[in-house]
């Protein structure tokens, strides 16, 4: 049996390798959404099963949870050789949406397969009907872009130029995608070198024992946390506004059963598969549940053991387990957030003292693609922004925070403006967007962009335009998402509120986005007067808001 000191050292070495892979990917990537926004993740995975060994601390949680499924797909095929690197983005084989491109490499030592390394990054374009991949009117996955089922991009260390040509011929800005691809490969190479050093230092048997022990300890810690929850079934439901094609809500209904041996998350009562792109694949649904649970208990070491006591039921009769050829571009970006929200809601019924109001619940993904006449090159502007997190027993929610399913940052506006012909005319906190409560939610943001030159098409995929993030313990809901456009000198409003695609966007046209805040915690009437006055002074709320929710004059 390994001593505690060695086990702790190895746990941190595994994580350090993942984080070094993340750093290399960040620094070498061409896309601002990766190099600046960190919409990516890296991890170590078990050789036989593809189960998670470790991940980088800043990796996107939704990428990490789903990548287990993709690695398991590759691992199960067998026939791996040193120097192989696979590329996969197929949602139905362990992906999220097509834009999240994963590269997976087997690592050998002394001729034996030791583990897999995984790298996932959001490519701003993967082909498809519109720039950016967010085809809100899509009714089949082929309209969303190029689908890769896990092919060998590198075979025993040699790049397959034909496969690379197929990929680059099907994306809109091939030189940028090539840069991101090489950055991912570089991160895998660094990870492989560090794994080889680690095996040389400790030997494969010791490392395998450490992996198994860490997994067992994480599972035991999860069971300890579950033992603190009163057994029973807790139900909660919420909904997405629509699927981008039909203006009907999509119910996410959860029955959460807490037992001594684990928790069962049953989504069987949710809506059936939809026509539009707001379907989720089972990898995304499962990953969203895992990360929501981890939000509640962040101190548990992250590996596959964290998930062992958690069972996710999402039948193929629901839109949370979509199969081919259902479109899924909203899977990771939007549906996953509503899944996490209902887990938070059910957990709030069970352990309200540990929970919070619902977070922003939407990324409001914006993609603008066109030709820049001054620079004489094509471009893809892909942008998302944060919103408010929910109030909790210890205080107010964070403003302009990242979404619950990721740790990605809003890319610096100056970097985006350097690479695309857009100008940010405004980026500010959004007053009155917070949910009221003893502890209010955080504020969303408001930003406005103008196209400076040329012609382009704009697509936007968001949600929370009909139902703001909910409060808990008597707290109120936050403001809903809103967008406004001026195209060709005239206002334009998307028929489905915050979902539309292929909108003509010309020089001088503008887009304004307002994201939700976070839900409130506790009865607003009990909020301290001093806190209300401070919010008024800072401009976080208006006198009208204070009078409506807090009864002030």
Dist CA 364 CA 445 (whole Å): 11
Q: Which long-range contacts (CB under 8 A, 24 or more apart) does 528-531 make?
A: 531/396, 531/440
Q: What is the mean pLDDT of the segment spanning 60-82?
A: 94
Q: Name the residue among 137, 119, 56, 125 with its Cα closest to residue 97.
A: 125
Which residue is it, tokens 């989720």? Answer: 280
Residues ≥6 apart with Cβ < 8 Å to 300: 218, 221, 222, 225, 294, 306
pLDDT range class, residue 407, cuts 50, 70, 90: confident
Q: Cis before residue 208, ω within 30 degrees of 0?
A: no
pLDDT range class, residue 328, cuts 50, 70, 90: very high
Q: Is residue 139 part of a domain?
A: yes
Average pLDDT over the chain, rounded to whole?
97
Which residue is it, tokens 């408001």? Answer: 446
Dist CA 309 CA 222 (whole Å): 7
Sign of CA pseudo-dihedral 291, 296, 300, 301: positive
CA dihedral in degrees (346, 352, 355, 360; nearest 10)?
60
Q: Is residue 342 part of a domain?
A: no
Q: What separation in angstroms does the CA of 512 have from each of 332, 364, 404, 408, 412?
A: 23, 11, 23, 21, 17
Dist CA 436 CA 49 (whole Å): 46
Find the DSSP H helices in 123-173.
161-168
Q: Is residue 327 part of a domain?
A: no
pLDDT range class, residue 408, cuts 50, 70, 90: confident
Q: How many CB atoms lie within 10 A of CB 484?
A: 14
Q: How many CB atoms lie within 10 A of CB 315?
A: 14
Task: Using DSSP bridges, classify how beta strands 85-88 and 100-109 pair: parallel, antiparallel or unpaired.
Answer: antiparallel
Which residue is it, tokens 């990054």? Answer: 121
Domain end, chosen from 178, 196, 218, is at 218
- CA end-to-end span of the chain, whole Å? 67
Backbone φ and ψ for 126, nearest 5 degrees, come out as -135, 25
Dist CA 116 CA 49 (whole Å): 10
Crossing angle between the packed helical segments 282-296 and 61-75, to the nearest 10 degrees? 130
- 552 by Cβ neighbours in 10 Å (0-12 / 13-18 / 19+) ranks as middle
pLDDT range class, residue 210, cuts 50, 70, 90: very high
Q: Is residue 440 part of a domain?
A: yes
456-497 pLDDT tens trace: 999 999 999 999 999 999 999 999 999 999 999 999 999 999
Q: What is the mean pLDDT of the segment spanning 138-163?
A: 98
Q: Is residue 396 part of a domain?
A: yes
pLDDT of residue 1 exceeding 90, the answer is no
Domain end, chosen from 170, 192, 218, is at 218
Q: What is the mean pLDDT of the segment spanning 169-175?
A: 97
Sign of CA pseudo-dihedral 460, 461, 466, 467: negative
pLDDT of residue 94 exceeding 90, the answer is yes
pLDDT of residue 508 exceeding 80, the answer is yes
Please state the separation of Cα 208 from the chain's center in Å: 30
Q: Is residue 331 part of a domain?
A: no
244-294 pLDDT tens trace: 999 999 999 999 999 999 999 999 999 999 999 999 999 999 999 999 999
Which pLDDT does position 553 carry in this prediction? 64
Tokens for 544, please give them. 């009208």
Q: How many domains is the chain partitioned into structurally?
A: 2
Length of the chain: 553
Q: What is the mean pLDDT of the segment spanning 125-151?
A: 97
Tokens for 208, please give them. 């395998």
Contact 532, 546 (CB under 8 A): yes
Contact 313, 272 (CB under 8 A): no
297-325 pLDDT tens trace: 999 988 999 999 999 999 999 999 999 99
Dist CA 26 CA 19 (whole Å): 10
Sign of CA pseudo-dihedral 193, 194, 200, 205: negative
pLDDT of residue 134 exceeding 70, the answer is yes
Please state the separation of Cα 432 from the chain's center in Å: 26
CA within 13 Å, CB half, 355: 28
What domain range includes position 170? Answer: 4-218
Domain end, chosen from 218, 245, 263, is at 218
Find the DSSP H helices in 438-525.
none
Q: Name the residue among 294, 337, 280, 320 with its Cα closest to residue 467.
A: 337
Q: Is residue 391 part of a domain?
A: yes
Q: Is residue 537 part of a domain?
A: yes
Q: What is the mean pLDDT of the segment spanning 223-232?
A: 97
Q: What is the mean pLDDT of the segment spanning 193-199?
A: 98
């Amino acid at each position: 049996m390994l001593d505690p000191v060695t086990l702790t050292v190895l746990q941190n070495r595994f994580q350090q390798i993942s984080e070094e892979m993340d750093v290399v990917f960040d620094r070498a990537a061409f896309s601002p959404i990766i190099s600046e926004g960190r919409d990516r993740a890296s991890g170590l995975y078990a050789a036989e099963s593809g189960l998670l060994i470790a991940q980088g601390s800043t990796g996107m949680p939704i990428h990490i949870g789903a990548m287990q499924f993709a690695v398991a797909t590759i691992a199960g095929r067998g026939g791996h050789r040193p120097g192989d690197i696979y590329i996969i983005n197929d949602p139905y084989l362990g992906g999220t949406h097509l834009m999240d491109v994963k590269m997976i490499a087997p690592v050998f030592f002394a001729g034996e397969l030791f583990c897999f390394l995984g790298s996932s990054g959001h490519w701003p374009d993967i082909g498809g009907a519109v720039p950016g991949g967010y085809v809100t009117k899509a009714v089949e996955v082929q309209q969303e872009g190029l689908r890769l089922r896990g092919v060998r991009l590198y075979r025993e260390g040699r790049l397959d130029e034909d496969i690379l040509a197929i990929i680059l011929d099907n994306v809109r800005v091939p030189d940028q995608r090539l840069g991101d691809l090489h950055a991912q490969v570089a991160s895998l190479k660094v990870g492989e070198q560090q794994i080889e050093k680690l095996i040389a230092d400790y030997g494969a048997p010791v490392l395998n024992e450490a992996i198994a022990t860490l997994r067992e300890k994480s599972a035991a810690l999860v069971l300890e946390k579950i033992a603190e929850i009163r057994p029973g079934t807790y139900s909660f439901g919420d909904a997405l506004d629509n699927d981008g094609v039909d203006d009907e809500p999509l119910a996410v209904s959860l029955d959460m059963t807490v037992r001594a041996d684990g928790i069962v998350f049953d989504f069987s009562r949710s809506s059936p598969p939809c026509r539009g792109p707001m379907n989720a694949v089972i990898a995304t649904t499962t990953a969203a549940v895992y990360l929501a649970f981890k939000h509640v208990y962040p101190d548990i070491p992250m590996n596959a053991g964290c998930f062992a006591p958690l069972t996710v039921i999402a039948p193929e009769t629901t839109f949370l387990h979509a199969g081919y050829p259902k479109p899924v571009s909203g899977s990771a970006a939007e549906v996953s957030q509503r899944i996490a929200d209902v887990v938070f809601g059910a957990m709030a019924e069970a352990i309200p003292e540990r929970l919070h109001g619902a977070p922003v619940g939407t990324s409001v993904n914006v993609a603008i693609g066109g030709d820049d006449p001054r620079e004489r090159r094509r471009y893809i502007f892909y942008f998302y922004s944060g919103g408010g997190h929910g109030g909790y027993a210890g205080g107010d929610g964070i403003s302009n925070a990242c979404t619950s399913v990721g740790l990605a940052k809003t890319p610096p506006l100056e970097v985006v403006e350097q690479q695309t012909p857009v100008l940010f005319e405004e980026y500010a906190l959004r007053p009155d967007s917070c949910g009221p409560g003893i502890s209010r939610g955080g504020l969303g943001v408001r930003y406005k962009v103008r196209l400076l030159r040329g012609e382009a098409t704009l697509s936007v995929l968001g949600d929370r335009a009909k139902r703001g993030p909910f409060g808990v313990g008597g707290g109120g809901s936050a403001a809903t998402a809103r967008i406004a456009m001026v195209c060709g000198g005239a206002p334009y409003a998307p028929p489905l509120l915050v979902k539309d695609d292929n909108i003509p966007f010309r020089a001088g046209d503008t887009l304004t986005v307002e994201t939700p805040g976070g839900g409130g915690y506790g009865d607003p009437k009990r909020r301290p007067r001093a806190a209300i006055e401070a919010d008024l002074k800072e401009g976080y709320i208006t006198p009208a808001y204070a009078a409506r929710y807090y009864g002030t004059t």
